[in-house]
Amino acid sequence: MGAAGSSALARLGLPALRLPAQPRPAWLGVAALGLVAVALGTVVWRQARPRRRRRLQQVGTVSELWIYPVKSCKGVSVSEAQCTAMGLCRGHLRDRFWLVIKEDGHMVTARQEPRLVLVSVTCEDDCLVFRAPDVDPLVLESKLPSSNALHDCRIFGLDIKGRDCGDAAAQWFTKFLKTDALRLVQFEKNMKGREAKDIFASIVQNYQIAYPDCSPIMILSEASLADLNARLEKKVKMDQFRPNVVVTGCDAFEEVSAIRRH
């Protein structure tokens, strides 16, 4: 939805998103295809704007909510989530607040290490538990000691800070991916995010993001995916776009046209 979508939800008095009482059954799998317009331009409700009074008109239904704590790792399906300026969160789970980096600070994602998509994350008590094939689980406290080192990280040419998650986490990811030494870092709420204007030169909205590619919240409609697949020989799945919010009951790319009206 991007910052514009987030602010639209705030204007509509929707600080949190919840699935309907009878959510639609589960869906599909993971990868990365970049439909940036769909990822950014999203909102589930639009305002009809008569001259003298405003009224809300439902144009779609939220069918799924997902939080991806670690960039490029598996998502966590949730029934409700708080919509913040920095993305969706549920308890200790915050969207893309953790990042795997090389020792020089450059990000490591599924673009470089596809096996990252096999790593799952769950929240148990005050800890995050990481699981992956052929390795023991990693248990990591959600709140890191302030004595842990700060790293200068690099995401698509932009600098951002990250708190080191410790040697055990570094060794776990290095062992699983069978690669050169890696570190896991965590973004903290008091840190400065990457500025929208540095990501999109023509952006009007002023917002910050942590480790997502380009927007705090990504929304995609089932109709848009169906329209895209009608044009492709090899079909793609919903989770290949890694959306936070999946919407049903609207026209293809309505999430794009809705944001343009705001």
Domain boundaries, the chain: 2-260
Per-residue pLDDT tens listing for the chain (262 residues) = 444 444 444 433 445 667 765 444 433 333 333 333 333 333 334 444 556 667 887 888 999 999 999 999 999 999 999 999 999 999 999 999 999 999 999 999 999 999 999 999 999 988 999 999 999 999 999 899 999 999 999 999 999 999 999 999 999 999 999 999 999 999 999 999 999 889 887 766 788 999 999 999 999 999 999 999 999 999 999 999 999 999 999 999 988 775 555 5
Range 222-231 contact pairs with CB under 8 angstroms and sequence separation of 24 or more: 222/63, 222/246, 222/247, 222/248, 223/248, 223/250, 223/251, 223/252, 223/253, 223/254, 224/35, 224/38, 224/252, 224/253, 224/254, 224/255, 226/252, 227/252, 227/253, 228/35
